[in-house]
Amino acid sequence: MNQPRQTTTYLSKRLAAAGLRPVSKYGQNFLIDLNLVDLIARSAELRPTDVVLEVGTGVGSLTTRLSDQAGAVLSIEIDANLHQLASEELAGRPNVRLIRGDALRNKNSLRPELMESIRDAMGRIGPESRFLLVANLPYNIATPIIGNLLHESPPPDAMVVTIQKELADRMVAEPGIKDYGALSVWVQSLCRVEVIRLLPPSVFWPRPKVHSAIVRLDSVPEWRGQFEDLKYFHQTVRALFFHRRKFLRSVVISAMKGRLGKPEVDEVLARLGHEATTRAEQLTVEQIQDLAEALRVAEQQQQG
């Protein structure tokens, strides 16, 4: 379908005609360069058997492109006025379902209805279906959306998202640099991560104060399958980086308080070859995975 050119003028007039304007508390920054909207959709490499979740429908510009390529699109928008506007724009597209509301139940979990709808759509399509997140994510919810989806069943096969460049830097960070932390380890333990394009503030309206990036994350089932307890691993990783400048021994003792004593912690660190003065930010993703698993096993033995 032909779409009007999405310039700042077009968008502002379209919203003004509906009596609307961007709402800062919802992190509304509209992508006005349609070439970049096309790039997001194209980077998802969608198939007719795919089920796509979009968080932040906006005026429906990306939604239309997803609808043209995917088998089913579930798009959620927290702003009631934008939801109504998008409903009018997307009328007549039977493979699009729009939900009005918050994608998050809380910062640690998604709204249950979303994954129920995703699973239902995948069931209708059949065993060849894939689940993808494709979205221009509002900055204020990007981290919990991505982090929580990695816990879901099924997790997304791929995610193509527009996020703050700072967040993208943290996702791809390597050990020993300031951006390396719990998010780096969590994402890199489960996904291959690629920064597709850096975006200046000028391609959004209103202009944000920061640069952005289009990022693709591809889930690797073999990596996911190596974890005995994924929730335990995630919680341990977050605890290891909670006081990132403290020495590793101190951080682990604090994280395992009430579950493992100092002798048990010292035994685990010594067995893995870690000095007491090492810091978590110096460890590779694989070393942190090994440490978390060793702590889990030691805790189980302690309880047994």
Nearby residues of 200 by Cβ (< 8 Å), 6 or more positions away: 211
Position 1 in a domain: no
User: Quick one: 62 and 203 in the same domain?
Assistant: yes
Position 165 in a domain: yes
User: Quick one: 68 and 134 in the same domain?
Assistant: yes
Number of Cβ within a 10 Å radius of residue 176: 11
CATH number at residue 282: 1.10.8.100
Chosen domain end from 191, 224, 257: 224
User: Quick one: 257 and 186 in the same domain?
Assistant: no
Per-residue pLDDT averaged across 65-77, rounded?
A: 97
Identify whether the C-beta of residue 281 lies closer than 8 Å to the C-beta of residue 181. yes
User: Quick one: 166 and 283 in the same domain?
Assistant: no
Position 277 in a domain: yes
User: Quick one: 266 and 187 in the same domain?
Assistant: no
Position 98 in a domain: yes
User: Quick one: 220 and 234 in the same domain?
Assistant: no
Chosen domain end from 180, 203, 224: 224
The residue range of the domain holding 275 is: 230-303
What pLDDT is stored for residue 206 in this prediction? 82
User: Quick one: 134 and 179 in the same domain?
Assistant: yes
Position 2 in a domain: no
User: Quick one: 26 and 89 in the same domain?
Assistant: yes
Identify whether the C-beta of residue 32 lies closer than 8 Å to the C-beta of residue 3. no
Position 3 in a domain: no
Q: Whole-angstrom Cα distance, residue 260 to residue 304?
A: 13
What pLDDT is stored for residue 15 in this prediction? 63
Q: Whole-angstrom Cα distance, residue 143 to residue 155?
A: 15
Comparing CA positions, the residue from 299, 60, 44, 93 lying closest to residue 196 is 44
The per-residue b/e assignment along 148-167, b for 16 or more CB within 10 angstroms, e otherwise, is bbbeeebbbbbbbbbbbbeb
User: Quick one: 270 and 122 in the same domain?
Assistant: no
Could you give the number of structural domains in the chain?
2
Per-residue pLDDT averaged across 161-185, rounded?
A: 97
Its pTM stands at: 0.92
Chosen domain end from 224, 257, 272: 224
Identify whether the C-beta of residue 32 lies closer than 8 Å to the C-beta of residue 51. no
pLDDT tens, residue by residue, 199-237: 999 998 888 899 999 999 999 999 999 999 999 999 999
Position 58 in a domain: yes
Position 239 in a domain: yes
Spacing of C-alpha 37 from chain mean position: 18
User: Quick one: 122 and 257 in the same domain?
Assistant: no
198 pLDDT above the threshold of 50: yes
User: Quick one: 92 and 241 in the same domain?
Assistant: no
Spacing of C-alpha 273 from chain mean position: 33
Report the chain's mean pLDDT, rounded to a whole number: 92
pLDDT tens, residue by residue, 72-131: 999 999 998 889 989 998 999 999 999 999 999 999 999 999 999 999 999 999 999 999
User: Quick one: 236 and 185 in the same domain?
Assistant: no
What pLDDT is stored for residue 16 in this prediction? 57
Nearby residues of 155 by Cβ (< 8 Å), 6 or more positions away: 131, 149, 190, 219, 224
CATH number at residue 159: 3.40.50.150
136 pLDDT above the threshold of 50: yes
Nearby residues of 223 by Cβ (< 8 Å), 6 or more positions away: 189, 190, 191
Angle of CA points 16, 80, 112, to nearest 5°: 150
Banded model confidence at residue 243, pLDDT cuts 50, 70, 90: confident
What pLDDT is stored for residue 165 in this prediction? 98
